[in-house]
Structure 1
Amino acid sequence: MLRYLTSGESHGQSLITIIDGIPSNIELNIDEINEELKKRQGGYGRGGRMKIEKDKINIIGGVRGKKTIGSPISFEIKNKDFENWVKFMSPMDEIDRESRIVENVRPGHADLVGCLKYDFDDARNVLERSSARETASRVAVGAICKQVLKNFDIEFVSHVVQIGDIKDNKVYEFEYIKNNVDSSQIRCVNKDLEEKIKNKIDVAKKEGDTLGGIIEVRVKNVIPGLGSYTHFDKKIDGNLAMHLMGTQAIKGVEIGLGFDTASLPGSKVMDEITYEENDGIKRKTNNLGGIEGGMTTGEEIIIRCVMKPIPTLYKPLDTINVNTLEKYKASVERSDSCAVPACSIVCENVVAFVICKFFLEKFSGDCLEDIKNNYNSYVKRLGDRGWKK
């Protein structure tokens, strides 16, 4: 079973991750992993922290001579900013607990409930772990999973379709997104909207406010049959939703037409099925986003996620002191005015982990060669039933 565990605090020494279940003989390209980490740090609207950190992965175990060896892969992403936080965050030395104490808890953040749950008088203990800094680990995990899946021509891309009230209603082909998204600071492929969105972010920043938005993740060349209808926790769409909702600031997930299906009749929602000898079994449309009955259909997977505005505001909202219960303005931590473009990279790699997990469960094997044999055998059987890759 593919699984991973992350550890580390936002201003701690480093982020530590162990990922278990990657088969042997996968050749890793560390430059591609670091490129994903770099993309996570970019995007218009990011704050001062991104000027400090230059994230790079340091693989510690599970890889030899650039190839996986089947054992758990461990890696580290150092926090350069720890140099400025040693006297506040050192794990085993005496620390200054008062200078950076957080008592005026922020609405919309984990601060208050975390203090109540774990019996803290300092929300620093909460925010250091609940921070989106942890998503650097998940991006690296997803980047490793992508390098497994590229052996089977599975591709991923993501882009921003809305920030604030500015929405891109156009529909794009996968290749168009792939070829244009990285040249945009907003990760929006509609060039007509780019300056409007940047101006919107500038206004929010000037007013001490923040903006959320909607991200779309697309996955291409996934075989039919990943996931299962036989039990709720085997459904791939359920797992995708869980992992994406477990990503910081995500408040909603939809697949295909998603919530729009509520206003449409079934005849406008379901994807009609055709068969032609040259093309095999196909769908006329892809309204359900490449998933039916908890299983992939072979069509492109289309997922959208809603990211709420970041709760750290430079015009702080009313709150209380968690210890005295007196009324205050919320604490202000260094933050972004908009992190939707960066979140698209996070969500893309979270999706990559889930797809890889289900792929390896379906075509399980200890090494790449065994997985390829199992995969090719399945493709042949599908071909005998009328489906063509």
Structure 2
Amino acid sequence: MRRLRLLTAGESHGPAVSGVLEGLPAGLRVSTTMVDRDLQRRQHGYGSGRRMLIERDRAIWMGGLRFGRTLGSPLAFRIDNLDWANWQARMAVDAPPRSRRPRPVTLCRPGHADLAGVIKYDSDDARDVLERASARSTAPRVLAGAVGRQLLATIGVRIWSYVEQLGRARAFPHAEDPLSLIATDWPDQDLTAPSPLRCPDSEAEARMMAEVDAAAEAGDSVGGSFVVIAEGLPVGLGSAAEWDTRLDAALAGAMMAIPAVKGVGVGIGFGVVDRRGSEVHDEVDPAASGWMRRSNRAGGVEGGMSNGMPVVLRAAVKPVSTLRRPLASVDIVTGREGKAHIERSDIAIMPRAAIVGEAMVALVLADALLTSFGGDTVKDVRAAVARRRRRSQRP
């Protein structure tokens, strides 16, 4: 990111996870209630582990806000880990006597950061790695993304998401344009009364829940996909001038930074490979006001820039690496064969991963907004966006 910078810190079972978000303009009204709402949305979903029954995530503000408005200085915050009370001996800052050292994690989990991390950092305990690699690190990202979402809302942008697939169960499996089948009020309902898996297709959601139950019964985990949509963006966020200024590249990179995400598509994504150009590119609609398209297969991005249509991103999520019936591994200390370490974990993470996806999209789009329109204050940004929108009107 060019205008915004987010640094986070903290381990999964340490006292807290924290962050500093730098680059926000002054004068942004921040609803702390809405920030806490997004943190709570990240905690819920069918298939979540017991950790989410312990935590009660809320933002503790440490700098950058006064009387509900940003000051233009870095925004500092933390989220306390309530589970730390159960982990203080294992996560102590000072080294305990050798006789009291907690048992190290030496059987690394296939698919996790464990093995590569202990080799990289020359450690004999995978806990040194797995604590930071945990999805708990996404909590401060969601907090920062909630602030970015509120900046985008000042120019009329709305971001929402849904779970598209879990295991073999898929929402709207035969639809050419699944978004057209989602009720217009579903995103608002999802904010206040989300369904168990945050899927707008109730029949598919029932099949998804059965997939979670079957995986749990087998001591396994299950993957899937989610979709994030951003509506109301001005034309021209991002740039075709350089490879590292393209909006779709930044969005895809941010989504790939979510733990367990293994693939990202913009618009129809890999659906372009077996179609001709006439079946892929979106015609300009002569009957519409503005520069609207008859379709949105490009997912709102052309030439690395937003084109005024909704930005649509799909993310493929692998099954969680921790299995209650663990896979084979090798002890990093003894070299003996064994079964991988079992850490408390989830069966499926799609409903929660989608909330993280919303946050990452919000951060990238907020950064692109500030990169394109600058401004020391929110008023400056809004005035610049208004000028761009006037320029974007059809003759």
Query: What TM-score does the superposition give when structure 1 sets the normalisation length?
Result: 0.96
Q: Matched residues in 1 for 2:44 and 2:27: separation? A: 32
Alpha-carbon separation, structure 2, partners of 1:256 and 1:95 = 56
Q: Which residue of 2 aligns with 1:194?
A: 205
Please tell me whether residue 59 in structure 1 is matched to residue 61 in structure 2: yes
Q: Which residue of 2 aligns with 1:172?
A: 179
Q: Which residue of 2 aligns with 1:8?
A: 10
Report how far residue 274 of structure 1 moved.
Answer: 3.4
- Partners of 1:6 and 1:270 lie apart in 2 by 39
Question: What amino acid does structure 2 have at the position aligned with 1:233?
Answer: D
Matches within 5 A, 1:38-187: 38-92=40-94, 94=96, 98-168=101-171, 169=173, 170=175, 171-173=178-180, 175-181=184-190, 182-187=193-198
Residue of structure 1 equivalent to 2:337: 327
Cα-to-partner distance string for 1:177-215 (whole Å, 9 max, x where unaligned): 414444311010101122221121011111110011100
* Cα distance in 1, alignment partners of residues 245 and 38 from structure 2: 29
The 5 A counterparts of 1:233-382 are: 233-276=244-287, 279-382=289-392
One-letter identity of the residue aligned with 2:37: E
Q: Is the 8 A contact 2:89 2:102 kept in 1?
A: no
**Deviation at 1:372?**
1.6
Distance 1:283 1:199 in 2: 38
- Aligned to 2:161, what secondary structure does the other structure show? strand
1:213 aligns with 224
- Tell me the distance in 2 between the aligned counterparts of 1:63 and 1:303: 32
CA separation of 1:262 and 1:243: change in aligned 2, threshold 3 A? same
> Residue 234 of structure 2 contacts residue 385 of structure 2 at CA under 8 Å; is this kept in 1?
no
Q: For each residue in 1:50-102, what CA deviation from the matched residue of structure 2 results, as whole angstroms up to 9, or x when unmatched? A: 01101000011000111100000000000001111111112236377743410
SS in 1 for 2:225: strand
- Unaligned regions of 5+ residues in structure 1, if any? none
Q: C-alpha deviations, 1:337-384, integer Å up to 9, x for none?
A: 11111101011111010010000111100111111221112222222x
Which of 231, 236, 245 in structure 2 is aligned with 1:225?
236
Letter in 2 for 1:211: V
Residues 34 and 100 (structure 1), Cα distance of their counterparts in 2 relative to 1, 3 Å cut: farther
Q: Are the aligned partners of 2:114 and 2:126 in contact in 1 as well (CA < 8 Å)?
A: yes
- 8 Å Cα contact 1:160-1:344 kept in structure 2: yes
SS of aligned partner of 2:179: coil
Deviations 1:313-349 (A, max 9, x none): 0000000001122110000000011111110101111
SS in structure 1 of the partner of residue 7 of structure 2: strand
The change in CA–CA distance for 1:226 and 1:120 in structure 2 (over 3 A counts) is same
- Matched-pair contact (CA < 8 Å) for 1:89–1:95: no
Q: How many residues of Structure 1 are paired with residues of Structure 2 in the alignment?
A: 384
Residue identity opposite 2:179 in structure 1? Y
- Give, as a single letter, the amino acid of the residue that structure 1 aligns with 2:261: I
Structure 1 residue 176, shift from structure 2 partner: 4.3
SS in structure 1 opposite 2:61? Answer: strand
| Alpha-carbon spacing, 1:305–1:78, altered in 2? closer, same or farther (3 Å) | same
Match of residue 22 from structure 1? 24
Distance in 2 between the 1:305 and 1:294 partners? Answer: 19
The whole-number CA distance in structure 1 between the counterparts of 2:96 and 2:350 is 38
TM-score scaled by length of structure 2: 0.94
Per-residue Cα deviation, 1:22-71 (whole angstroms, up to 9, x for no partner): 11111111111111111110000001100110100001100011110000
SS in 2 for 1:89: coil
Give the Cα separation in 1 of the matches to 2:223 and 2:28: 37
Distance 1:263 1:100 in 2: 53
Give the root-mean-square deviation of aligned CA atoms: 1.4
Structure 2 SS opposite 1:319: strand
Q: Aligned partner of 1:325: which letter?
A: G
Deviates more, 1:169-178 or 1:219-228: 169-178
Deviates more, 1:303-312 or 1:186-195: 186-195
